[in-house]
Amino acid sequence: MKEKYKENQKKTYVNNNKKNGRPDKGASFKKNSYKSFSQKSENKPLKKSADKAASGTEKNEDIEKLSQGLSELSCPELDFTKDDKLIPKIKSYIKEIILFNSAYNLTNTSDFNEIVVNHILDSLSAASSIKKLTKELEKSIGIGSDEKASDNKIQIADIGSGGGLPGIPLALTLPEFNFTLVERMDKRCAFLENQAAILGLKNTKVLKSEAEKVPAESFDLVTFRAFRPLDKDMITTLLNLTKKGGIIAAYKAKEKSITQEMEGIKDIVPDYHVIPLTVPFLDEHERNLVVIRKK
């Protein structure tokens, strides 16, 4: 299968080079024509990123910061320090983001340390809250008792997943739930599918779709981060995706801004609550999780 991906990717890059004399970072890639971090790219911008990653983009202090951050976020209900494979997997995932970021626009930075703090730890700052919410859902709707049955697990969606944030970090740390990464762009979907395979995320699938076109009531919990403001159109779409009795959990910043945002949709969402989040090494940045229950 890897050889097939390599061949498809090579043809795409070669065609682009012949046509433009250089790789076109906005070029259209065939679905599933992605490759792992270990494969060499003929695309010059990606090759540059790969060389940077291979030379050790991350420093020892970056890994120490990741380890410390995971330790600070751990709690009795969700201890990130118990899984000795978690840090290597996150490290691999960050390297893949750095490798493909210039072409796929996955995050607003390609700096290893910034990705650790602003994206990985930020995504995981809500993991314990999301786990608690989903466990409450399991009890209320009576599913999740059979951990081996995939269709008997809570279904969580990451809407507008982009590079897989927060969906991939959450899927890595909450293997008891099923995750769907909803993304509209082909090349990002290819990246996400590749990451799910590389990281061994059997609880994760990718759905290429705009949020508005996802089948109604598909998910028990819907989450998103840095997607869109919660205006009337967006909240209507999100509520449509959520099963009755389900939850929308939105990563947001300042509570003052949340209050203003929610005021504009109070006729649709009269009740909600805010869970303060603590992101290690981001003490000056206010982060919150807005929780909305669909009645």
pLDDT digits (tens, 9 = 90+) for 172-215: 999 999 999 999 999 999 999 999 999 999 999 999 999 999 99
List the structure tokens of 14: 């070669």
pLDDT in tens, 64-80: 999 999 999 999 999 99
Query: Is pLDDT above 80 for 22?
Result: no
Structure tokens at 260: 């203003």
Per residue, the 3-state secondary structure of 198-231, as one string, reads: HCCCCCEEEEECCHHHCCCCCEEEEEEECCCCCC
Q: pTM (2 decimals)?
A: 0.81
Q: What is the largest CA-CA distance in the chain?
A: 59
CB under 8 Å to 275, separation ≥6 — which residues?
126, 129, 288, 289, 291
* Closest C-alpha to 122, from 206, 257, 224: 224
252-291 residue pLDDT tens: 999 999 999 999 999 999 999 999 999 999 998 999 999 9
What are 100-155's pLDDT values in tens digits? 999 999 999 999 999 999 999 999 999 999 999 999 999 887 765 444 455 679 99
User: Quick one: pLDDT at residue 50?
Assistant: 41
pLDDT at residue 59, as a whole number: 86
